[in-house]
Structure formats: C-alpha cells, structure tokens
Structure 1
Amino acid sequence: MGFPILPFFTSSEELKTVAGSKPYLGLTGQALLDLTKVSVDDAIAFIENNSAYKFVCGLLGASNTLSDDDVVRLLNNGVSVLFLQDCSMAAPLVQLGVPKERLAVLEGATYTCNFGVVQKFSTSQIVEASALSTDKLADALFSSLKTDRDDKLYTTLVVDTHERCLGLVYSSKESIKQAFEQQVGVYYSRSRNEIWVKGLTSGNTQKLVNINIDCDGDALKFVVVQEGKKSDFCHLNTTSCYGEFQQGLVGLEGLLRQRLENAPEKSYTRRLFSDPELLTAKIKEEAEELTEAADKKEVAWEAADLFYFAMVKLVASGVSLDDVERNLHVKHLKITRRKGDAKEKFLQKKPSEESKAEAAAETVDDGSISLNVVSDQDKKGVSEALSRPIQKTADIMHLVNPIVERVRNEGDKALLEFTQKFDGVKLDSPVLEAPFPKEYFEGLTDEMKEALDLSMENVRKFHEAQLQKETLEVVTQPGVVCSRFPRPIEKVGLYIPGGTAVLPSTALMLGVPARVAECQEIVFASPPRKSDGKVSPEVVYVAQKVGASKIVLAGGAQAVAAMAYGTESIPKVDKILGPGNQFVTAAKMYVQNDTQALCSIDMPAGPSEVLVIADEKADADFVASDLLSQAEHGVDSQVILVGVALSEKKVAEIQDAVHRQALELPRVDIVRKCIAHSSIILCDSYETAFDMSNDYAPEHLILQIENAQDYVKLVFNAGSVFVGAYTPESCGDYSSGTNHTLPTYGYARQYSGVNTSTFQKFITSQVVNPQGLENIGRAVMSVAKVEGLDAHRNAVKIRMQKLGLLPESFQ
C-alpha cells in the first residue's frame, strides 16, 4: 500500500525551502515533482541530497516540454516514474526508450500505469508539500490504518535500513504523532501502559527514517537507524528481539567502523586504514584471485576476501552500504546502458593461433566506437549479429490504436490536438494547400534547388523507363484474347519523416514516381517543426515540383490515420507510402487491415540497415564511411560488415577508421549507440559471405570487393545493391536514380523497393468470341459442375445452346 500521502512539490523554490524546513516529509519515502516548474537540475539535486525519498516521481504537463535529453537525465538519475496527463503522451516516450513500467497516466481519480498499475494515489492523496504538517501526515495514516484490537493499538514491525527485522512493537495514535514530530522511534508500551520513546533510558535511541503501511492496512512498518553506544534494540542487549544477526556485510561494516575508531596501532586492520597503497594492492590481488577461482567453495572464499577489503575501502572513505545500495538502485533505474567492455589492460592477450575475430577484437580500446567481431565458425555469435531487434507489435498497437480511432472519429480536431501534444506546435489548420506560400521557400539556396532538381530528374528518368503503358494481349485459344493493362492509383498519401532529420530525399523518392505514374492526387504528410510550425522548405519545394495538392502538417500515427480515413480538410487516399518509426509502421499496418479504411500500404518496415561485403583490397575509409552513413539514421539501425578473408591488420584499419570518422560526425551519440550493437563477421569465402547476406536479406547491400560486378549474380535477397568501391549507399539515397524506399527487417525476401509500378494497379480483361466459347466452354462447364456452381455452368450452357455448339453430353 505504501504511505497514503504523496507530497507534491510545485516549484524549484519550494523544493529547496519546504524540504529543508519540513524534514518529516521524508518519512513518507516518496515525493512528486511538478516538472513543468521544477528544473531538471533541481530535481536531480533533490534526489541526490535527500536519500529519505526512495520513490520520486515526476509530473509532466499536458504537453511535454522537456527535451529527450532531459527526460533521459531524470530517469537515469533516480526519477522512478513519470506521471502523464494523457495516455497518448506515452507513445513518443516509449519510442525514446523509456520502459513502459516507468510511465503512469492520470485517468480519472487515480494515477495508473498504461500497462498495469505502478502505484495508485487518489487525487485527494496528492497534497502540496507546503500544506503538509505532522498532524496531517498522522491523520492521513490513521485514515488508512485499521486494527481489530480492543485497545486500539496498531501492530508495528521495526526494521533497520537493510530491512532486517529488529522487533515487533505496538503504536497508538499519540505515539505515531510524536514519532512524526520528533522523527525518532516512539511506540506504546503495553506493560507500562504509556508512551515509550525508544532509548530514552537505555541510550539505544532510534532515528526514524520511514513509516509505511502493509497491503491490508492493518500493520505499520518503521524503518529506523539504531543509534547509541551498542545500538541494541532488545532489552536483553541484543541487536534484535530475535537474537544477534549473522555478521554479513552489514555486521562487517559496523565492526570496521568500530575498528576505524579504536583498532590497535599494530593491528592489520589499522594498517589497512593507514596505508592506502597496501589496501589498493590487496583489493587488486583479491579481485585477481576471484577471477581465477574455479569451484564453488573457492569462489565463495575469494569473494568473501574481496568484500572484506572493499568494505575497508568504503569505511575509510566514509561511504556506507546504504550509499552503495542507493547507487545500485539509481543504476537500476537508468534507461541508457554502456557497452560494458573491459579496459584493454585487463583483457588477456589471445594467442595468435586463435581465431581472427578474437585477435581483431583486442585492438578495440575502452570507450572507442567499434564493432563487435565474430567468426563465421561461431554460429551463436553470427546468429546474434544477424538478429534484428524484436518489435513488440502488440505493445505498440496498444498506443497506436486510440490515436488512430480518435482521428477517424474526430477528424481535424483530433489531428490538431495530437500535433500540439506530440510535435509541440499549435496550428489553426492541419493542411498546407497548393499553391504553396512563397514564404516557405525563403532561405532555399540555388545550390539546394539545383541538387534537388538533378536528383528528381535522375529519379524521373529511371522510373519513367519502368513505366508500363502498353496493354499486354495474349491469345490463349483461338477466339480467346486475354489482356492486362495498367492504371494509376488515383490518390496516394506520401509520408515524409521529420523527426531526427529533415528528409527531402524521401519526398522526391516517393513524389517523382507518383508523378510519373500519373496519380490523380498526391498528398504529402510531414510533422511541422517545433520552432515555427512549418515543414522544411526543401520538402515543400519537392511537393510543388511533383504537383502535390496539399501537405498534411502532422506526423506519426495521426498523420497516417488522417490520410487513410480522410478528415474535413484532408482527402482519403487509396494507398499510403513512406518510411517512419515503429508508430508510423504500426498505424500503416492497422489501416491496411481495416476494411473501413480501404487503404493499402507500400510495405512493412523496420529500422534501417546495411550489410557491406568487403575483402582485403577494400579501402578501410570507404568501408567505414558506408557503415557510418547507415548508423547515423538511428540507434536501432543495423550495421553489419561481412569480411572475406580479412587480415587482422585490415580489421584494425576498419575499426580505427570507424572510430576516427564517427567522432567527426554531429550525430556521434546516435552513431555510438548503433555501432555498439553492430558487428564484423569474418569468413573465408565469397560464397559464404553471399549466403549469409541472402539469408539476412538486407535493405542495402554494398559490395566492396574485387570484381564486384561479377558477384551480383549471387544476390537473391536485397532491397538495393551498391556495386564497387565508388558506389556508396548515399548515391542511391539521393541522386543516382534508384529508389531509396526499400524493404527492411528481412522483407527483401518478399518485397521490392518502391518503383513506378508501386503507384500502379493492373487490370485484366478478356474477349471471347463464339469460336473461343466453343474451345473453352466445355472445360468451364465441367469444372463448374464439380464445384457445384450450377449458375456458373448455366451461363456458358445457355450461350452455347443458342449458338448450336452444345454437345449432347452437356445437354
């Protein structure tokens, strides 16, 4: 149940003054900070300096104004849960990497987690800290407590800060009030029938740290720190009413604190306290012996030695086990993780005869931006390297469904609200109509226009060459002519991402083929910038060039829903195309499966990915640049290098080039996280490399190998292939002419990338004359009879009877 009141700190000033003037608020063990008014630095400082508050929550406003970095900092530094004003606020936070269990949503009168209850508080229990007093805290406790005892006393379990049971006592309403006021252990003595202040006569006093109630509300728990000379709880002069505790780490800490005060000058413990160099050497020695321990008994023995010397270091430094446990708790709350490699000086050097992968891995320094290295002989390692991140569709759909449904039911109103909530932009209209205002093109340089024009022209040439205009006709039997002819999809919606990067290239890769295919209406959708509520001028320029009728000023699932179902100002489209994050993809899958939408999509999508096949003659700088050009897309991008007969020297050159080039990139933090889960797989033959690639089916396949063109025949599964040292993926992304909207997540096994026919549908027709009916009529009648579809059979029979062509056996 926890403490029934959640103190609410509504400003940074209140956090500093009230927390200091009312230390008894810490007895609740919890606090709620208004993050619209409490600065991030002040919130973190509060957590660091007020260890009594174990459960610190943050309340976000109706529209989250914190940056992604600030959200991560708060969760990494001790904020347990973020309370949200609305369920839909969870989507961008989950996308950022915030665990679902760290989010709670205000729904009606209780705070509940969107994925299961985290901790419930009625709104009456959330009280401004400045309004709280010891009386109000006590009264709140009484309102949640119950007892079936005739004397109206409350059963109270007393534990220390390590949750070790000291004893069972009883409390009265008056003793509880005094405990709050004095912040010491105050109970009710049944034998003396009076208030009992623990240690008042014996000197074994207690500092009260926390008061809590059990799940049934019929028992209290006091967390205390035993003080005094002996720090005994029991009247029998033992640590607890159940006897002495085992020594353990807590007991060792107490013993070492005593030794720090009074150990004899020549004792070993005193020597350790007095000689830091000796203590450091012993810690290193025992750590080494622990790593070399083999059996269970030996490991336990060496670990105990290491713990002893580590505890000496803690006590000598004035650090308590409580401090360590608090540090562990904060680290447990972190949502960003380090790679965790050991420093090179602690890594054992591998003999040269061992695998190339292990030898190459030795060249990686701690903190470097480097890929993991595995050999193709390591089947488990290869499997892990080629495994894509698991996409939990059900969890994402749980967030996407209500967004889609609101836009479908409420139209523009819901779309505008979601744009304000997710993109931080308040708009009067959700669309920008063509012809687009001149103000959108301000700041667009001639150089950029020329670059976009060149790219669009090349994409047009390649996609126009794909355009199928002719009608296919085949005479299958004399008198039977079957035809197939193309028609453009009438209305298409093109989604242009705008989250971590501006992507005019996606606009032209989708818009130009739509124009080539002669789609009647082209609608763009792209999230507006928070700074000015506009989309980038480059995207608007492309939209104007391809003849888009409007641009939907929205992103995410809400933009997909608006185009799929239509709103008051946005036309319903027949097909939605374009990449996006997991929420965009989930929304596309949703509308494709909803018959009410009657809207198709281009393909399923996952994170961006590249697989590079390189041999010994590949330029290390070229290889590194190709890997990094994909890694900068996002932390979940997949970057894989398959090396054919690479030497240790070449692997080291590539790793060095990756590290060196990455540090010069503005998106180095994204790159670092992506490369941390990316790999170099070493194999001995080109055939093995291509088998691996075909099995993986990458979005982008880059061939940096000798005579690369000769190996294209070995490619069976890939979105797009980049052949040779001077064909970086970037060319295909922008200006060569091929399309960069490609199948990811292994879908290259079944799907093609976007092309001109993606914007077309193909209709078949047939013409059957009397001769043709005579040639195929009997076959039609026979099959229809077997299927029991007499009307089908009769449609042919009547015609053949009137033509005098029906055999007697078919009468």
Structure 2
Amino acid sequence: MSVFLPLLESADSALVDALGRIGPVIVSSLAQVPVSETCRRYILFDHDSSFNLDEIVAFLDGGAEKVIIPVAWAKEIAGTLPADRILLLLDVANVSAVTDRLREGVSGVLIKTPALDLDLISSVMRFFSDSSAYVLPTTPEPPSQSTIREILGAKAALVLPTSQLTLGASTKEQINVGDAFVSGLASDRPDGLFPTVVSSYPHGGKSLGLVYSSVESIKESIATGKGVYQSRKHGLWRKGETSGATQDVVYIHSDCDSDALEFSVIQNGSGFCHLNRPSCFGQLSGLSALEKTLQSRLSSAPEGSYTKRLFSDEALLRSKIMEEADELCRAETKEEVAFETADLLYFALTRCVAAGVSLADVERSLDKKAKKVTRRPGHAKPQFAQNVTGSAPAHPVAVPSGNGKLNGADTDVIRMRTYDLSVIPKSERSQLLRRPVLKSDEMLSKVKPIVEEVRIRGDAALLEFTAKFDKAKLSSPVMHAPFPEETMQIEESVRQAIDKAYANIRKFHAAQTENSTLKVETMPGVVCSRFARPVARVGLYVPGGTAILPSTALMLGIPAQVAGCKEIVIATPPKADGSISEEVMYVAKLVGASTVLKAGGAQAVAAMAYGTQTVPKVDKIFGPGNQWVTAAKMLVQNDTDALVSIDMPAGPSEVLVIADSTGNPDFVAADLLSQAEHGIDSQVVLVAVDLTSSQLDAIEKAVDEQAKALPRVDIVRQSVAKSIIVKASSVEEAVQFSNDYAPEHLILHLKEASQAVPLVENAGSVFVGPYSPESCGDYASGTNHTLPTNGYARQFSGVNTLSFQKHITSQEVSAEGLKVLGPIVATLADCEGLDAHANAVRIRLRQIAN
C-alpha cells in the first residue's frame, strides 16, 4: 500500500509529476488534470451524475488502475467488473450499509470522514480484512508525519488533496511531498540511511546497482525527478552530475518492511556503473541487449550488411516476420518453439527500432492492454483463419455496456471452450479436471474470530453478527416449535407443490432406513450384531436471506425426520425485518423441526456447534452454503470442544452432461444452464460423443439464445465463459472422463442412456435420459440434492437417510463360545504385550474349567 494517495485538484505540472513518481494519484472523473503516461491513476466518481457503466469501463480501458465509486453504483456492478479494479467510496456514517456481496466485489474502500478516529479506522479494517483502505479527512489542515505513521499502523493510508501538499518546505497549511512519503519509512541502520536498489526502466527491471538514500536525497529525487542518493563518504550524490550519466526517476517504491527502496529509472549516458557498463552486475542480456545493439546498428550498420537490408527494405522485413511467425506455429518440440520464438522476436524488434518504438513503448502498451476490462472476441482474420482440430478458441469475458449487451456484436455470443480428448496431451487433460482453487486457510482465518465470539459470548455475539451481516435486529435468535401459523402463510399452489415434493422425497428416503438388526454367528457361541440409531441432535443449514430455499429444507429435514433424529435445528438467515421465509417455515413444521435459528454464515454454524443460551447444541451439521459457511463447518468439526461432525466438504455447483447425436440441443443447453445460473464459479462441462461441428454448433446456439433470455444472464455469461466442451470418440471414453472428473450432477443424453449407468463409478447423482432434467432431482423426484462437489464424489455420498444414522455393533459370547474364542484372543493379546487383555479372557476360562 502507498504511504498516502494524493487527490489531484490542481494542474501544477511539477507537483503532479512528483506525486506520480511515488505511487498512484486520484483524479476526479470530471477533472482536466494532465498526468504523465507512466503515472498510475485512480479515477474518483464523487459527483452527482447518474450511473453509467460505459463511462466507468472507458476509464478502465483507457489505463486507469482503479475506479472509486459510490455504494449505490457498486450494487449495480458487483460481480461484473474485476474486484481488484474497484474501490468503494463511503461516508464514514454509511459503513454499515456495505453487504458481504459488495465487500467481496471490491478490492478496498475510501472513507470520507470529518475527523481522524483510529478506533473507527481499525474497526473498518477488520470488516475489510485483506483489502486496501484509504481515509480522506475533510479537515483543511494537513496531517503531521506522526499522524501519517499512525494511520499506516492501522493498515490504512491517508488521501491528501494537492491543496495540502507542496514541493517547498512544510508549513501549517501544507506538508512537503517528500516529508509525507518518508513518514512511512523506518530505517534499521544506525546511520538512518535506506538501502536502495536502482533498476532499469523498463528492461524487465534489470538491477543497475545498490546505493543508499537519505531523507534529504529522497526528497530531492521526488521533487526533481533525477536520481539523487546519499554517499556514505561524500554526502549528497547527484548521479551523473559530472559524468553526464544522469537518471530520470520513473517510480520510487518502498519494500514490504518499509526499510528499503527501489528506484526505477531511465539511465542516460554510458550507464550506471563507474566502469562504463550499464549495470554494476554486468552487461545487459536478452531483449534489452538486442534492443541496444539494433539501436546502434540503425545508424552505423555498414552498407550491404543483413541488418542494414532489414532496416532499408520494408518488404523484406515484413516477409521475414510472417515467415518466422509461420515457423513458430509449426514448431513442435520445446527447443523448436524457443528457437523460432527467438527468431520472431529478433525481426519484430527490428521493426520496432526502425519505427522508433522502444521496449518501454511495447511494455507500456502491454500494461495498457492488461488494464482493459473489455476484450475482442479473439477470432482470426479470414486470411489467417483455419479449422485446427483440437484447438480451443478463446472467448474471454467481456464487460456489459449500459444496455446490458457486450461491446460489439461478435462479443455478445455466450460460448464455451472446446477441447478434443483424442489430441490433447495427458498434462492438459488433467487441467480439464481441475476446479477453482479454494483458499481454505484464508477463509479459516477469517471465520475463526466469528466462531470464537459465538463460542464464548453465545447469544449476545450471535445477535450482534446477525445485525451486522444480515442487517436484522432481533430480540431473540430462535423460534421454538410449535411455530405461529402466521409465519407459514403461503400460496395454495406452492403448498401443494411442497406437499407433493415432501411425499416423494420421504418415500425414497424411508426406503433407505435400516430398521432391522444385522446378526452373524461368526463361530459357534459367538454372535456379532450391528444396529442403527439416529444421530440425536442435528443442525440443518438452509441458505436464505433474500432467497427462498424450501427445497434445501426438504432435502435435509426429511431424512432427519425419517431417521428419527430427536432434535432438528434449522438455521437460515433472516430477512431485514427479522422474519424467515414462510415457505421455509412451512417445511420446518412438516419435517418436525424443534427450533429455527434466525442466523446465517459462520455465526450460525458456531451457534449450532457449541450451543448458546437459546440455541441447542447439535451433534452433526448438514447443508450447503458460501465460503464462510463451508470454512466454519471445517473449523468446528476439527475442534474437540465442539464434538460435532459435518456432512461433507462443499464447493461451487457442478454439472457434467454427456450427449451423443440423439441429444436434443435445446434440452442439453437447458441442462447446462440450470447449473451455470447458480454463480460465476459454477462448473459446467459438456462431453460430446462423436458430435459433428454442426451438431455442436446447434448446442452452442441454444446455450446462447436460452442464456440471453434468463434474468441471471450476467452470472451465466461469466460461468459459461469458463466452462468447457470435451470431445470424446465413444460413450466409454466419455464416461471414463466423467469418472475422473467426479461431478456433482451427471446427465446422460444418450441413445441407450440406461445402459451407460453401470459404467458410472464417481458421481453425486445421475440423471438418465432426455426427460430427466437435473431440476427434478433438485426439487421433487425424491432423490437428495445435497451432493458432493469439487471432485469429492470419489469419496463421499450425497446426503441420505443413513447420513443421519450411526451404526452400533455388539457381540454376545456364550461360555461354550469363549472356550474356542478365548485362547485365540489371549494369544493375540500376548503377542501385543497387553497382559490385562489376556487376563480378562483367562480368568473366565479358568472359572469355566472349574
């Protein structure tokens, strides 16, 4: 994080240039303040104009590092633009208005405040953990250096308007830019100097040398833009003052500990080193060395030389670039690719030097392209296009314009990426099986304080977190059965649908119950038994809040009821008015829930795991949820104080569809989209069995058309762009890929779909044939929709009646049986050196013998 962020209010070019050397600057979207090409910009939207996504995107595409937008605008674009490009503009009084969704959709916050309150800043930082925080005080006086250090200690940084900054001496009205910058530094050397690495800009950041800086030299470098350092023998050292090898300072950075610096400079003259070399660490190499050579030869290459020909014959150079590009495309081995790439870079850099373009210009262009949030479709021009088997056309996500469409007609197509199992190498095949990396350690560290608070403080902490995260102020976090009738008033059509779904799901789960005792006489007089008993107290997490999810309550509540669990606690986030959706309350009554906990997130999991003054402690926790819920479940199951287990690990929703030529394209597309709409991280895979290009095109066209008709099209657009089509040559190959992937939902659109089921080894639930959409299993066919994700179908079953039961074994040995079994047991006990075990048998055998 920067020591401070300047807010540009004036067009003082010297001041603006100096500020651009030490970090990003904030520029109002309405301001006409010119900044240098290398200056990093944050664009502040603090005016009263109406929301315009195109305007925001234009600034980002134009090279702005971030945009700073009001809360109302953030609600419109959360999840649409990259989070790392957005900062939230907040008045200090409105911090509580930020939801989890908004917080996760931005990379930080800029807080306007009338006064600097360190306690307030610290509390905001706890809410915006792992995010950047900037504080803009509205006071007219500049802060002191000690105040800047205190704010940095709170993991935040000040925003200082240029009216409070100066290149001159610090006064009561203004603070020197250099003084503000060095406020964040802390030397660990007795002489107070800062070790300083000088690196070449751009040239890949090549190290030129190691020097030392003082407060005085830093301030002069910032103000003048020239490399100025501190010689330990001779005092202030203005680099190149006598030799002419001066330096233009582009950036000055501090390291992560704020006790060392890096000067990124454009080196002039013979070089940095006193030996007339570019670097104290040797000569330039690679592209930097090639550029310097070509620049030299542009003016001095002898007539008739090959380099001279390239510079003077534009047609020859153009031909060589196309020739080397073609050879690179045909290269196969690692060595060939490296060799041909080197040739192509040589001719391409020759073209740059001939046109007066430097590597710095190219790198700036690359950086500018990287900052764009819209993308061209990536299609080749007609003269270069060809149908390459096994290629994977890229369809990057583009950003919607103000009318909800993508920029340009071609980029509006919602498509998947395609791979062919017959041509891709094993290493790439394994990549197709990968899911998004779950940052388990990071999430565990975030939920641990919440879990601890609820464990220690019980209801008080639970009510505080519910007010903070769910925006619901409650007098009690629970409702106990019997539930008031007014909490269950639902439409008759919905009631009938729930009742029928309940009947189907109960019928299927009742058939799974193990009521009989298993008895086996392993040898005469030795009878071993196993019998099932319900888990006494279970907690069922039903995601909710603004959503209505009675289906999850059914899927978790019915097997608990059928298994005979004595206490069923349903936890679900309340609405802002403190109520629970009537549909979920109706299901709670149907399944015999004893308690409804009005809380969500990690706090609900903690309350059920440890129990509070009003929330019963449970023995096992079930149910899906976001990363916070999943991390909390993982945390409490490993805490021996909780003595609680969980159903299974969880991840984003998944579907894998296997389709052959008999598959209806509209059906296949609909099944893919039924999971794609869950979230931008949903995993969607189509395995195409020997489909022609036209058949695949029909499916992709159906995906595009159906997706654009969905209310959640913005979510679908992002999830589908990350989804894949895998070409397989046979049903066997397709199912083998599916077994390796181990999907949550597997859908079979095959001519003889039922005959493929015996081949399935790893899947959460299988949907067989064209008239078995995954939606049926989600709601009412009878199977359970709480299923293993993220590849865990290799080890876990979906939730079922047995999930709510445990098995107890028993054995009954008669005297006659012990005569035969006893000596065997005693011998094995002696073998292990457990004399008391052997004695427990022998003492009985002696009595039987007497």
TM-score, normalising length: structure 2: 0.69
Q: Which residue type is aligned with residue 510 of structure 1?
A: L
TM-superposition CA deviations, 1:75-133 (whole Å, max 9, x none): 55487999x999xx99989976979xxxxx98799999988999998325645514444
d(CA) in 2 for partners of 1:97 and 1:50?
Answer: 14
Superposed, 1:480-559 pairs within 5 Å as 481-498=527-544, 502-529=548-575, 532=577, 534-559=579-604
Task: Give 1:779's aligned residue.
Answer: 821
d(CA) in 1 for partners of 2:690 and 2:551?
Answer: 36
User: Is 1:724 aligned with 2:769?
Assistant: yes
Q: Which residue type is aligned with residue 820 of structure 2?
A: R
Task: Give 2:440's aligned residue.
Answer: 393
Q: How far 1:473 moved relative to its partner?
A: 4.4
d(CA) in 1 for partners of 2:236 and 2:656?
Answer: 74
d(CA) in 2 for partners of 1:112 and 1:490?
Answer: 37
User: Is 1:41 aligned with 2:45?
Assistant: yes
Q: How far 1:520 moved relative to its partner?
A: 1.6
Contact 1:58-1:79 at 8 Å conserved across structures: yes
d(CA) in 1 for partners of 2:187 and 2:104?
Answer: 44
Q: How far 1:458 moved relative to its partner?
A: 1.3
Q: How far 1:542 moved relative to its partner?
A: 1.9
Q: How far 1:562 moved relative to its partner?
A: 1.8
Task: Give 2:723's aligned residue.
Answer: 678
Q: Which residue type is aligned with residue 387 of structure 2?
A: K
Superposed, 1:214-293 pairs within 5 Å as 286=321, 290-292=325-327
Contact 1:253-1:321 at 8 Å conserved across structures: no
Task: Give 1:411's aligned residue.
Answer: 458
Give 1:743's match in structure 2, choosing from 788, 799, 812.
788
User: Is 1:30 aligned with 2:65?
Assistant: no
Q: Which residue type is aligned with residue 710 of structure 1?
A: Q
d(CA) in 2 for partners of 1:21 and 1:427?
Answer: 56
Q: Which has the higher contact order (CA 8 A, sep 6+)?
A: 1
Which secondary structure does the structure 1 equivalent of 2:617 belong to?
A: coil
TM-superposition CA deviations, 1:427-477 (whole Å, max 9, x none): 5544344455666556x4333222222212211122122233334445556
Contact 2:506-2:559 at 8 Å conserved across structures: yes
Q: Which residue type is aligned with residue 453 of structure 2?
A: R
Q: Which residue type is aligned with residue 455 of structure 2?
A: R
User: Is 1:7 aligned with 2:34?
Assistant: no
Superposed, 1:156-555 pairs within 5 Å as 162=202, 286=321, 290-292=325-327, 299-300=341-342, 302-303=344-345, 305-307=347-349, 325=363, 328-329=366-367, 341-343=378-380, 345=382, 348-350=385-387, 357=390, 367-376=413-422, 378-380=424-426, 381-423=428-470, 425=472, 427-436=474-483, 440-441=487-488, 444-474=490-520, 481-498=527-544, 502-529=548-575, 532=577, 534-555=579-600
Which secondary structure does the structure 2 equivalent of 1:666 belong to?
A: coil
Q: How far 1:737 moved relative to its partner?
A: 0.9
Residues matched between the structures, number: 741
Q: How far 1:660 moved relative to its partner?
A: 2.2
Contact 1:480-1:766 at 8 Å conserved across structures: yes
TM-superposition CA deviations, 1:326-365 (whole Å, max 9, x none): 564466578x8979854474764237xxx5x559999x97
Task: Give 1:563's aligned residue.
Answer: 608
Q: How far 1:726 moved relative to its partner?
A: 0.4
TM-superposition CA deviations, 1:555-602 (whole Å, max 9, x none): 333322221111222211011111223443333233223221111111
Contact 1:617-1:706 at 8 Å conserved across structures: yes
Q: Which residue type is aligned with residue 724 of structure 1?
A: G
d(CA) in 1 for partners of 2:415 and 2:12?
Answer: 43
Q: Which residue type is aligned with residue 431 of structure 1?
A: V
Contact 1:519-1:759 at 8 Å conserved across structures: yes
Q: How far 1:751 moved relative to its partner?
A: 2.6
Q: Which residue type is aligned with residue 514 of structure 1?
A: A
Q: Which moved more, 1:138-147 or 1:520-529?
A: 138-147
Contact 1:339-1:676 at 8 Å conserved across structures: no
Contact 1:7-1:25 at 8 Å conserved across structures: no
Superposed, 1:617-656 pairs within 5 Å as 617-656=662-701
Which secondary structure does the structure 1 equivalent of 2:659 belong to?
A: strand
d(CA) in 2 for partners of 1:792 and 1:155?
Answer: 69
Task: Give 1:264's aligned residue.
Answer: none
C-alpha change, 1:556 and 1:322, in structure 2 (3 Å) is: farther
d(CA) in 1 for partners of 2:505 and 2:45?
Answer: 49
Q: Which residue type is aligned with residue 585 of structure 1?
A: T
Residue segments in structure 1 that go unaligned for 5+ positions in a row: 100-104, 257-267, 273-277
Which secondary structure does the structure 1 equivalent of 2:648 belong to?
A: coil
Q: Which residue type is aligned with residue 500 of structure 2?
A: L
d(CA) in 2 for partners of 1:392 and 1:712?
Answer: 34
Q: Which residue type is aligned with residue 786 of structure 2?
A: T
C-alpha change, 1:40 and 1:688, in structure 2 (3 Å) is: same
TM-superposition CA deviations, 1:12-71 (whole Å, max 9, x none): xx6657999963771562369899xx99635999999999x999898999xx99549458
TM-superposition CA deviations, 1:233-278 (whole Å, max 9, x none): 99xxx99999x9989879999999xxxxxxxxxxx99999xxxxx9
User: Is 1:667 aligned with 2:712?
Assistant: yes
Q: How far 1:611 moved relative to its partner?
A: 2.3
Q: Which residue type is aligned with residue 137 of structure 1?
A: V
Q: Which moved more, 1:792-801 or 1:607-616?
A: 792-801
Which secondary structure does the structure 1 equivalent of 2:533 belong to?
A: strand
d(CA) in 1 for partners of 2:229 and 2:693?
Answer: 75
C-alpha change, 1:374 and 1:786, in structure 2 (3 Å) is: same
C-alpha change, 1:196 and 1:254, in structure 2 (3 Å) is: farther
Q: How far 1:734 moved relative to its partner?
A: 0.4
TM-superposition CA deviations, 1:655-683 (whole Å, max 9, x none): 22222222222333333333334333333
Give 1:123's match in structure 2, choosing from 136, 145, 150.
150
Contact 1:610-1:638 at 8 Å conserved across structures: yes
d(CA) in 1 for partners of 2:429 and 2:126?
Answer: 45
Q: Which residue type is aligned with residue 636 of structure 1?
A: D
Which secondary structure does the structure 1 equivalent of 2:45 belong to?
A: helix
Residue segments in structure 2 that go unaligned for 5+ positions in a row: 29-41, 48-52, 109-119, 135-145, 171-175, 299-309, 398-409
Q: Which residue type is aligned with residue 642 of structure 1?
A: V
Cα RMSD over matched residues?
6.1
Q: Which residue type is aligned with residue 494 of structure 2?
A: M
Q: How far 1:713 moved relative to its partner?
A: 2.8
d(CA) in 2 for partners of 1:174 and 1:512?
Answer: 74
C-alpha change, 1:25 and 1:312, in structure 2 (3 Å) is: same
d(CA) in 1 for partners of 2:689 and 2:73?
Answer: 49
Q: Which residue type is aligned with residue 774 of structure 1?
A: E
d(CA) in 2 for partners of 1:569 and 1:170?
Answer: 63
Contact 1:30-1:55 at 8 Å conserved across structures: no
Q: How far 1:289 moved relative to its partner?
A: 5.4
Q: How far 1:503 moved relative to its partner?
A: 2.9
Q: How far 1:506 moved relative to its partner?
A: 1.2
Which secondary structure does the structure 1 equivalent of 2:446 belong to?
A: helix
Contact 1:287-1:306 at 8 Å conserved across structures: no
d(CA) in 1 for partners of 2:435 and 2:194?
Answer: 55
Question: Among the aligned pairs, what percent are the same residue?
Answer: 44
Q: How far 1:494 moved relative to its partner?
A: 0.6
Q: How far 1:209 moved relative to its partner?
A: 6.2
C-alpha change, 1:766 and 1:250, in structure 2 (3 Å) is: same
Q: Which residue type is aligned with residue 782 of structure 1?
A: I
Q: How far 1:485 moved relative to its partner?
A: 3.3
d(CA) in 2 for partners of 1:479 and 1:122?
Answer: 81
